[in-house]
Structure 1
Amino acid sequence: MVFTDIEGSTVLLRRLGDSYLEALEGHRRILRAVWREYDGIEQGTEGDSFFVVFPTAAGAVGATVEGQRRLAGHEWPGGERLRVRMGIHTGTPGISDGDYWGMDVHRAARVAAAAHGGQVILSATTGELIRQALPDGAVLRDLGTHHLKDIPEPERLFQVTVLGLEEEFPPPRTLGTATSLPVPATALLGREADLVRLGELVRQPDVRLVSLVGPGGAGKTRLGIAVAAGAIKQFPGGAYFVPLADAVSEEVMWSSIAEGLDVPPRERTPARLTAYLAQRTLLLVLDNLEQVDGADRVVAQILDRAPQVKVVATSRRPLGLVAERQHLVMPLDPGSAAVELFVQRATAVQPDFSPDLAIVREICERLDGLPLAIELCAPRIRVLSLEELLDRIDDPLDIASTSRVTPDRHRTLRDTIAWSYDLLSPEHQRVFRRLAVFSGGADLAAITAIATDSADPLDAVAELHDANLITVTQGAPTRVAFLQTIAQYAGEKLAATDESEALCAAHAAYYADLGAGLRGLRESRHGTALERVETELGNFRAALSWATTADVAQGIRLCAALSWLWILTGDVPEGRRWHEDVLARAGTAYRSADLAACRRGLSNLLLVQGEVQRALSEASKALELSRSLDDRAGVVWAMSLVGTAQRHHGELDAARQTLTEGLELHRQLNDDNGRLARLLGNLAGIEEELGRHDRAEALLRESLAVLNKIGDAHESAIQGQNLAYLLAQTGRVEEADTLARGLIPTVLSLGSPSLTMAFSNTMMTILARQGDAVAAARLFGAEEAMGERLAIPNPYLAEELDEASGLVAAVINPEDWQAHRRYGRAERVEDLLARLTIAAEGAKESYDLGRPGG
């Protein structure tokens, strides 16, 4: 789809007067000739604009390149030059009465609107399709990721530069490049010289890594953000801020970088993420690296595999890489910027503050100009005079004097925090210490249960917030957190008491209970449960880390409660590591229902990773243990996993026998829940493979009836798509199509990579059976590429490809099928599914999942 129009046509009309019509006709004549030569079909012409569609991306690009050449070579009335902007996007719009419509048309128009006169801009889809098939004399330039008006998701744009014509244009007319830099609430003070030097470093082509090193509290993070904001125009792919205060390993660091770039969870492996970065020109601000074991290896891989990416890192110590350029972040000048910062923060809490600048300057000198020390000190002007503040700094814990006798600025910061800590009452000091047990913050309910001796923690939280020792984020619920350096100090204080171990035990027990509660909640309120899990991931990790070594029984209980979350968040390797570590430490000393649940969780994680034999072994061990404990519910769960593993191993008869026995045992429990629904669905899959389609359909409908009753949207989508696939396989294609299209909004909203891929395969089968070979081929290619990106093996790929090719053999030749399959590999499965949602809501309302026979 190509959109074009004349830039500045109104101004041109005023200058040319009656001659404007001659120019307009010449413009139309030139472009219409080009459209015809390249098989373009004109869809609309209004004034000086065109909307033209082409059968191929190469044809569309060829036409615009030739069009710009002919426009540039034409003699226009009055010696003027017509500057025509052009935009191209490739997609599958809807067609009604010969007119094209839908989001792809809007996207194409927005791409064109981003261009300048004489410029040709392409969407990401078009750019990838023609990268290796550009016309002679044309080159492709990456313009980065931009936000287009009225389009929610960012779009990567490319420019087709026509050699011999204008090559340099202003930035695209968009809402801006994609970025995730925080917007500071106050101005950066006293860093002018730093910004000049760092700006020069970042602009140098051979500088790939700039590390801001220095003491905690010196303002490295704030400076790093400012450097990125000042350099963003030279990075078409944008600048991204990645906070790593909670990261302790390479694995979590990779995951955090992916989150900062908004990369899907299943694409967070180092190889996939560096491949993603290798295609982009962007700036990464990696904040707080000193505590990450292996941070140097992560940064080295990014620099090695993504040549257009630059990194600004903040850390208390250098990374030690050859490519590293270090910049020491010193404290603020106590005589100017530090004073200005103190006055700014004091005025914020006391608007009528009238400072004695000489005393303020002396306070700032005693604080060594450390921004964090000033941030902690200045708000106390609400309760202390300047003279009293100065007197307190002269105490034995005097921050400035300590700093003057030692170069260890970390010690200086600790003393700064200690001074603020000493201003607290004993009760508030106790709460402050106890808050160190949390990782990534906590809500008031958790603080009440673990960190306070009273039923209401608000007084303590308010006092700590006033002292700038914590941050409070209002929401549902309100969340309390530490800055990184203050959390370390609180941890030291807690470790020095005799309540540290008891507090860690209470923390682990609380979050084990929370995990178990969320495991039950996910059946009826999947989105709420997943959101809460992601918020509390730091606490779950902290609880597991302590319990794995200090209380194996609690570690087993935590793994039993949390096995489901690793699949939903996409952190399967991490979840597997926790399970394997706990089970190794448990040995043969523990025999409990929680241990069986832990083994079932590991089995499920292994199945996701395609390790079927090990998954079967763990499930079998869980089954044996549950039987010995006379835990009938645990036996049913284990049999469901054993049967599933047997199916993946090709043992269909054994799987059918296992799952049938498990179903019969579950019916004796007289409990309609998610376990029953999964058993029914698993057994239906076996019956389908054995050709017992009527039995499979009955089982799936019973499963859906149970799920509808308990409100499990996630599992309903899984079993619903299984039913749609079965209906398609048995020739009830329209019935399957109605059901599947009605499920699309739910599947997209859940955001589960494994569900999305399975559903796309079902939808592809339906499209192929309907004769829509192009849509089926593209969806197949997109799903295939997604599986490769996420390292999710598909053992049935060759079989599915043969089946799909056979279904469309009568309507498309093999070469075109393969071509569209390749095109699909450049598209997102989610985007292709979203285009199929026309009338989906109506289909969802009209189709009764529990009604047999359609």
Structure 2
Amino acid sequence: MSDRSIRFGVFELRPERGELLNGGLRVGLGSRALEILTLLAERAGEVVSVQEISDRVWPNIFVQENNLRVHITAIRRALRSGAGGDVQIVNIPGRGYRLHADVTIEAGGSNGTPVPISPEIRPLPLPVQIHPLIGREACVAEVLDSVARHRLVTIVGAGGIGKTSVALAALTQLRAATAVCFVDLTNCTSLAHVATATAAALQTPMGQDTMPAQLVERLRAAELVLLIDNCEHLIDIAARAAEALLQSCRGVTLLATSREPLRVPGEVQVHLQPLPVPAATDVVAAIASNPSVALFSERAVAAAGGFRLVEENARQVAAVCRSLDGLPLALELAAAAMPMVGLEGLSSGLAGRLSSITFGRRTLARHETLEAMLDWSFELLAPDERLAFGCLSLFRATFDLAAAVQVAAPNGAEDRRTAQAILQLAAKSLLCIERYQQGVAYRLLETTRAYARRKLEDSGQAEIAARRHAEWVGTLLDRAQADWPRLDRADWWDRYGNAIDDVRAALAWSLGASGDKQLGIRLTLASAPLWLGMSQFAEYHRWLEQALVTLDALRRRGGAEEIQLQIGLCVLLFHADRPGEAFVRAATQVLRIAKKIGDPVARATALWMLSGQRGIMGDHPASLTLAQQMLAAESSDAGRDLQDFARRVVAGMTFRVGRVAESAAIGAELVTQGSERTAYGAVLRYDHSTILRGNHSVTLAVQGRLESARAIIMETVIDARRMRNPSSFCYLLGSAACPVALWLGDDELARHYAELLGCVADDNRFTYMAELAAWFSRIADLRTGKSLQPYPLDRIRPPLPHDKDVFITACAALCDAEALARAEACAPHWATAEILRADGENRLRSGDIVAGRAQFERALAIAEAQGAGLWALRAATSLARLSTPVEAARILVPALARIEGDEHYPDVCTARALLSDCAHWGGADSAWPSRPFEF
């Protein structure tokens, strides 16, 4: 195909060279924008439909129209730079686009014909690139800019990353202005071979016996850009040749490709990175426009003509691209294999299995498979580098140089040599370098890691390296614990959050058949905050149980280690399936061991768990008794953390038995103190600040301090969401945020909190919390009239006693004989007044006014005695409806006086409206028609 020159206005478009010139100056446009402009220019004056443009520019790929509009905008911006502005792209609504300009098309010389240097030097045509270059426009532009300003530019990158393709794309654009030559060094093994290959590429008459000095002499007066491709296997020879050419041939510019720099004076490096890959959260439109996906799709179309990227398969394709880290060669091999294995097959374990599949280029052996490509690099490594390369395959995430040395160094005396080997691996592009604010980190591409792991297994060093990796994980967790109180939570997670995969690998080895069991138990305990914060409760549950079995096999039960494992198990059991028998057994075991070894913190933790279980089962006096035992007489010197922990639990259980004012006083003091953040080893006891403020908001709401309760709960939910402690967050939502929102009458806020609770519970497989979320959502539906059935769906288990009481305080229709019997059978507790009032409303509906009034009077008396202002207001409102206006006013006025809050709260609004009715009825001494209270 010939080079064409398409002229319009002051512009010249050269499609085959990928250039748009404005008065001879190159205009920066991406390849897709140039393709669109070419199509519009070829059909100047015609309307070209969106579908026609998509078929030309994005063949067999689903692309939304707004993606096209981005490129049209870029073209229009480029055309506005022309003098006169007489070239325009017009949008015809509903039809497409039209180029408004006078266009002339001129045919040029044959594609690939180089600019001649002299009759004796006529470079061979550049190799034809069969496939379009995708996602590398910025890289090509960087190479062109570097070549314009420097005489030696080296494109550096891993094997299979596309160095040659980028270099050839740059040469294709350069050849319009200067002579260019491509020299492939793949089969060269000496300086003489390099000279011969260069002479052959330049088509000089020197023949096969060309000497380096002869070649330099012949090129002394030449003006050209010389690409020397694939230098890594004879890097020293290539460096010496490059230096000689640069010193003697002033008109020669060198462009090199290599997996490591040449390290010649004046060298400028252009580092090629893998193509960007889609994020797991990307929408389909973003996936379709991603360079990795575009490359995979284009190659998949070539391999299987029926392939098309659509909404149904876009996420699978994105997963494949992520698993291959955007490495172009790997993407091409995967696309070529797709007709045989399908997308589903490509999605699972791809990095490990693809390496030996042969779907690459037959004409380039080292690119026929990933394994061949990596073999090419591996064979060039020194022995120290090979050993380090294998050891580094144990890292699952990024790592710094110190970590790499700790895992890869055979012993302390070898640290310096190992560090040098690791730096050489990075220089040779086998390690990816990632720069952060706090320094430099390294990582292996997934395909490279799978290959390196096989090399490690072959070396016989796998077990030794696995031990060093597990020990490094232990060191990392120690550092994480030290940084826990020092760093902001977001900074802490930025620094340590990606360690979870390395922790997983270290546990698998250490708790495995040949591992260090004691180390495995230590890692299980030390990694708890990571598992919690990464929402991996189900997996952590399995590690805890495995660690307990291991502890039993080591005959190490009955000590501090078992205490911590059992505490973790309790928390997981609580969320997975309510605090049942297994939970009580584990908590009781913690208490027994804690008393035996004299551990006050473990003893308090066990009592907290048992206290919570009794409270949920409705035995609030027993719950308070256990809580009060958390600080034993001999614990007078207990630390601040333990004291605050115990007082927080006592405050909560004091509220549960109905001593509302006393609970509020303790809570207010603790909140005012601004207690420290939860200690690293105490995360399983929940985040202290979150639970303290959540419980205090509950107490304030029941007291009637509605504005304060609302402010605290909303602020606490926002803060807790950032803490990345799902168990604390779910407790806050289920035990405080949802109930308080319902008590305040904000049903939409309650629904939002319930949905949030459901999402977090589902993510962490918290069955118990998911059930609470379903109940709260159903209650919000009942209150807003979206559901007329008083009970949730049959698939939800009946609530536990305390939870049922909470639901009744939010929806009186849920009060039944069982709840009433429990309330009547024991001393009044926090919800007794509301249960009695709810029963009174139910009796009223059945026509038993006398019994209803009696329940309202009992409820009001209990609420006033407890200092439960909100319950007192509700009971007073229900009772006032059965009273004369004078009596109603006498009841309502003091009840309203105890409330902090305006009329926008439904309970306050209803009571004030009723009080207003009292004034309207004046001195009437008969009751108005009874109306049941909504809540």
TM-score under structure 1 length normalisation:
0.49
TM-score under structure 2 length normalisation:
0.45
Q: Looking at CA atoms only, which structure, 1 or 2, has the larger radius of gyration? A: 2
